[in-house]
Structure 1
Amino acid sequence: MTDNCKICLREIDEQSIEEHIAADHAGTPASVQEVYADRYNTIFDSNGELRPQYRDDSSDSDDEDSSLHITTSGTGSQNESESHHNDSASSDTNSNTEGAHNLTQSTSNSTNQGSSGSTRSVNRGNGSNSTDTIEIRDDAGQNRLESESVNAISDEGVDNSVSVPGSTPLSGATGNKWQMIGVGGAGNHILDAILLRRETLREQNSPLAQVWDGGLADYAGLNTNIAELGNTFYAQQDRAFSREKLITNGMIGYRHHNYSGAGRNWKVGRTLMQKDFEDEKNAIKDRLDVDQRDLEASQAVMLIHSVTKGTGCGSTPVLAKNIRNLVSEGTGVADATTLSKPILSSVVLPSETEFGASEMVRGVVGMAYLSKHVDGIIPFDNSKLDSQRTDFAVDIDQAALEHYNPPMYTDVNRLLVTFLEAFTMSSTPQSADTTGTERISGEVFDVPDSFRPVQRKYSVASERAYTPAVVMAPVIGTTSASRFDRARLDTLARSTLLQGQLVDFDPKSAWGGTFMAYGPAEKMEELEPLLQDGELTSILSGQDFLAREQYDGPSSVDIYVNQLVVPHVDNVYLWGLIWNPNLPTLERMYKHARELVEQSENKEAQELREAWETIEPLFDCLGRENMG
């Protein structure tokens, strides 16, 4: 039989569709009733149980065969997908996987605070509760079956039962830092790198694991391509989704396409995400692997994606808009703080060799639509990431990372995780990580401190259609020095603002920036007097860097420096976000888009004209000449 099941989209191996449903979908009768209404009463009785002729009393009650598991024999291949940074899964990524197997086997059901053998029930919708039997592993790694109450059926008839490895002790209660969502191929791979970093730290018994335990309220991977998402550590090991649950919890455009991707078309990505929220539907509440309680309790939302392919470019702005609407409703456990919840977006730009004309158009459109619905955009440029030194990048189990990330991007992703880890520890709840991070003096900035100081510098008299997000250029540098004076601080500033750019930009064109110096206690004690005396601020303000004195406008170029003791690192690091500078990559994208609008009559140009009112405000605010 060559037909595919309309629920899981797999080819039907059984003799009939009824037998396939009984074998693979007996646990989700509501999905069967909606998709195969004409066959439902033949297969299920009035209680939603299989009729006797379809029962297999000798079968094992777990669903191990339908779960996604890592293959470690070296003979498998990852899915072919998008070609630029993190958007392509190499066909060779199953090589050298013995180490990956050792890591992932021990973490399959022990993520989220290391609670081995635990699961959590996630309430996704408004349906009735039921008891579901799930497979988990005990501390000895043995499979066992437990029953837990899960919210099984929403009003839309979607299977909402989710078994996710053990929740963090603070999850949804004390406001862990990020609700992190990786969208599309790039976002899925970077999320994997973050999760593998956490697992590596746990394997090493490093207190730095607490940075991520306290830093992640929750996380999710979303995609329009089921094979791409299905090949991730997140889907295979962390969540251990069956194919059906992967579809209901991770697929954008549920039941509106065949889950094979957006085909480099941003309008397809946008339309599919819009379908998830049209009429009375709300995919976040109804089915996606995003716990509304954790979303509302988190300090901020971090979206991770590319902006030059169909899914990341088209879907993410729609998701951001609906997250904003949801957290602004004033419902749930975080009622007092939802209205001001920050939403940031870490976006990946392809290298010059991968940056064609169509990528430029999608990049302009993606950045612009995103800018309407998030507070800050952190762009990462593959060209700069590829040229960076990687000796200070964080340690992630190499075999596991190469297994789940395209090998050509493992070093790039380690650098990205290095930057995001520093951002995470800047305001990780102290109750969650007292052994992982310590503050010595001054205020460690929270997420709003990274963008709100500059929001007040936008012109109120502007005729722009909206006030765009702050574009925040990322930088990071390090030194192994043990003793510090002004000269060594100058060297650290140069390694950060000039050599440590993770996207190409001109520091002298920026509206200002916020920085964090961090390192071990003994070195930070040596550095503290210089920081307190304003030496680092003075250096960063100088002519070689942000050139504050060159600005003669009505506003001001503000520079903030914070400090943090991190006992379990060896070097001193300087981390920063630089506000609204001129970025050559974005300028090149914008110039090409404007030429199309002015000179071409093709469909791409017409789509740009329709979006131009959204595009102009973002690009009009880059550069110091546009401040205030």
Structure 2
Amino acid sequence: MDTTCKICFEEVAAPSLEAHLANQHGDSPASVREVYPEQYDELFVGDELAPGWADDAPADGNGESDGDRDDGGREDGEAGAGAARQASDSGSRTDRAVASGGSGSASARTREETGATGADGSRAGNAGEPRGTGTGSPAVGQDAPGAEGLQSGKKWLMIGVGGAGNHIIDAVLMRRDTLRERDEPLAGVWEGGLADYGSLNTNIAELGDTYYAREDRGYDRQQLLQNAMIAARKHNHQGAGRKWTVGRKLMQADFDGESNALRDRWDISANSLEASQAVMLVHSVTKGTGCGATPVLAENISEMAGQGVGLDDELAVTKPILSSVIIPEDDDFGGSEMVRGVAGMAHLSKAVDGIIPFDNQRLDEVGADISVAIDEERLNAYNPINYVDINRLLVAFLEAFTMSSTPQNYDQSATRQINGEVFDVPDSFRPAEPKYPADSDRDHQPAVIMAPVIGRSFASSFDRSTLSTLARTALFKGQLIDFDPSTAWGGSFMIYGPEEKMEEIAPLVNANELKDILSGEEFLDRGSTDPGQSVDLYVNQLVVPGIDSVHLWGVLWNPQIPSLGKMYDHVKELSEQSDSQQADNVRELWPLVESLFGAMGRDAMG
């Protein structure tokens, strides 16, 4: 017998599966009917527990029948039933999370009232309805992040889409909880860095195995369907496979007509879109859900972010939306993967401001000296073993990006805070936008490709020579995707470290020593441009308590990236020489493909 219940994902502690279903899910007959139809026929008569099973079952949490669904597909009484299950002694997630050292509230998450309504004027999920009992959620009655509260201005609304994106969100949350439990100064990075977050997928099994679902939210199957499933109850919840067109259609179903799953159903607060500085989408570029569904989500977030700005179009600054995309190693990167990658990035390029590509092969080669500490037991339990080290490095890059403008007002009593030059999200890509050629025939400007780098130095003292070594470490050894820095349009950089070392480094940075080093022939080679062109560099500095070394973080704009060039060449040949359905799909996208991939390298600058 499978010892894990597919409804609550708990170990079956009762004498049998049937006894567990009667005791723990007797008040949710619809859940049993959907997941265990054979056992349902034995256990229930007309949605009531059959004689012999009813005596041991818990009383209904609200005295109402569970057979009817509300407008959002949520079963009546699910909140009361979920609370009863979570309060039980048989392995509740709340108890397990607290025992394992989880911090934060163990109370149920409540969805913030946004004032938005569904197509029929009703809300898909009632405001204040419990959404789970995980350790990372606000307590009942506590406001979720809102545009007017102290949490306004937090850095990211961060969403992981598909299996790869879900695992990276898990790694971020486990890093946050590790820092909390160790009471480290860097805990403030994520406390001030996440306005809200969520994981979305088309595969219920993948979602159910995440740290986000099990520990942070404490969701059972029905809550997962309601709060994190793409196109819930409109397909078999087994994923999009490797078909990006399927992933795209499933996400479109959540925004079809008057539908809006972000506003009405998912546990990601729509208000956090306004409260956050920017949106970060994390996903694979070659899987069906990651590359197919994410662009549709980005398009709808962009549309929502642009509504109600209250300013003239010429004055309004749109909400930055970035995409962190994961590219597989060459051995796993066949022709079909290349097509999916090009299609996904092409669609994304019209909806997001910047695309940060990460190459699994480079991430595997960079080494552990850049990686951050994450609780080993958790990481091994919730991340695939072959991606544990890779995801530590990804989190290190995202953590540095997050600390660059993390607000400090969430903890006015803190005496050791990150301080220095403010480096906002738009500073990471907007200086590149005016460099695109003027093209009256193009109906959009493509996303900026932002090649990521990060390096680290343990030197005890710093001068120009030491800074040059750090620059070399970051721009060559610390490339998180293989590229040629001398072909970039420019870049944004941040050097950060402990106060005692930054006191020595600051005069060098202020005297433009680091900028001169990065501009040299060995690195960005600013002198090799055509007349009228310029390569711009921006260097910021931060003092960060709680670390013992100096880091150089950066993103370089639109350089030549061999792996992306290989994808482009393959798809171009396919579109020109093949009569396959794949080729037809690509030909329809070709203007988007050309505008994004054709911008790599300085020859493409205006």
TM-score (norm 2): 0.84
What are structure 2's unaligned runs of at least 5 residues?
1-17, 19-28
Task: Give yes or no for the alignment of 1:505 onto 2:483.
Answer: yes
Distance 1:26 1:276 in 2: 30
- Partner deviation per Cα, 1:434-477 (whole Å, 9 max, x = no partner): 5563324xx32100111111111112235334210001000000
Matched-pair contact (CA < 8 Å) for 1:5–1:17: no
Q: CA deviation at 1:32?
A: 2.0
Q: Provide Cα deviations, 1:535-578, integer angstroms capped at 9, x if missing partner.
A: 10000000110000011242210000000000110000000001
Q: What's the secondary structure of 2:145's corresponding residue?
A: coil
CA contact 1:68–1:230 (8 Å) conserved in 2: no
C-alpha distance in structure 2 between counterparts of 1:179 and 1:187, whole Å: 14
Distance 2:363 2:186 in 1: 24
Which of 62, 69, 76 pairs up with 2:84?
62
Match of 1:468 among 446, 457, 474: 446
Instruction: Tell me how far apart the structure 1 counterparts of residues 210 and 82 of structure 2 sit (CA, whole Å).
Output: 27
Deviations 1:7-28 (A, max 9, x none): 9831132234623799899769
Cα 1:460–1:237 shift into 2, 3 Å: same
Given candidates 534, 539, 545, the residue that maps to 1:556 is 534
Contact 2:72–2:265, Cα closer than 8 Å, also in 1: no
Which residue, 421, 434, 437 being the options, matches 2:417? 437
Equivalent positions of 1:97-496 (< 5 A) are 105-107=100-102, 110=103, 114-115=104-105, 117=107, 119-123=109-113, 155=122, 161-163=129-131, 165-166=137-138, 171-172=145-146, 173=149, 174-330=152-308, 340-432=318-410, 434-435=414-415, 437-440=417-420, 443-461=421-439, 463-496=441-474
Is the 1:517–1:564 contact (alpha carbons within 8 Å) kept by the matching residues of 2? yes
* Residue 159 (structure 1) shift: 6.7
On the 8 A contact 1:513/1:558 being kept in 2, the answer is yes
Distance 2:69 2:144 in 1: 38
Aligned 8 A contact 1:9 1:258 in 2: no
- Name 1:18's counterpart in structure 2: 47
**Matched-pair identity in %:** 52
Report the CA distance between 1:391 and its aligned residue: 2.3
SS of structure 2 residue aligned to 1:312: helix
Q: 1:563 to 1:351 in 2, by over 3 A?
A: same
1:9 is aligned to 2:34: yes
Aligned equivalents of 1:304 and 1:315: distance in 2? Answer: 12
CA distance in 2, matches of 1:272, 1:214: 33
TM-score for the superposition, normalised by structure 1: 0.81
**Alignment RMSD (CA, Å):** 3.5
Partners in 2 of 1:122 and 1:7 — Cα distance? 29
Q: Secondary structure at the match of 2:585?
A: helix
Instruction: Note the C-alpha offset of 1:116.
Output: 5.2
Partner of 2:4: none
Please show how residues 538-553 of structure 1 align to structure 2 within 5 Å: 538-553=516-531
Partner SS for 1:563 = strand
Q: 1:349 to 1:8 in 2, by over 3 A?
A: farther
Give secondary structure in 2 for the equivalent of 1:106.
Answer: coil
CA distance in 2, matches of 1:267, 1:60: 35
The 1:484–1:267 alpha-carbon spacing in structure 2 relative to 1, beyond 3 Å, is: same
8 Å CA contact retained: 1:497, 1:507 = yes
Distance 1:601 1:313, change over 3 A: same
Instruction: State the shift of 1:31 in Å.
Output: 7.8
CA deviation profile, 1:65-121 (whole Å, cap 9, x unmatched) = 9999799xxxxxxxxxxxxxxxxxxxxxxxxxxxx96777332xx4xxx34557444
Quote the residue 1:83 is aligned against: none
Question: Would the aligned equivalents of 2:174 and 2:379 in 1 still touch at CA under 8 Å?
Answer: yes
CA contact (8 A) 1:483 1:526 kept: yes
Output one character per residue of 1:485-525: Cα deviation in whole Å (capped at 9) or x when no partner. 11111100000001100011110110000000000000000
Partners of 2:30 and 2:67 within 8 A in 1? no
Further displaced range: 308-317 or 161-170: 161-170
- Picking from 503, 510, 513, the partner of 1:525 is 503
Q: 1:379, 1:519 → 2: CA distance?
A: 25
Alpha carbons of structure 1 residues 162 and 504: separation in structure 2 relative to 1, 3 Å: farther
* Bigger shift: residues 592-601 or 161-170: 161-170
TM-fit CA distance, 1:336: 14
**Larger displacement relative to structure 2 (381-390 or 170-179):** 170-179
Alpha-carbon distance between aligned partners in 2 of 1:220 and 1:322, rounded to the nearest angstrom: 16
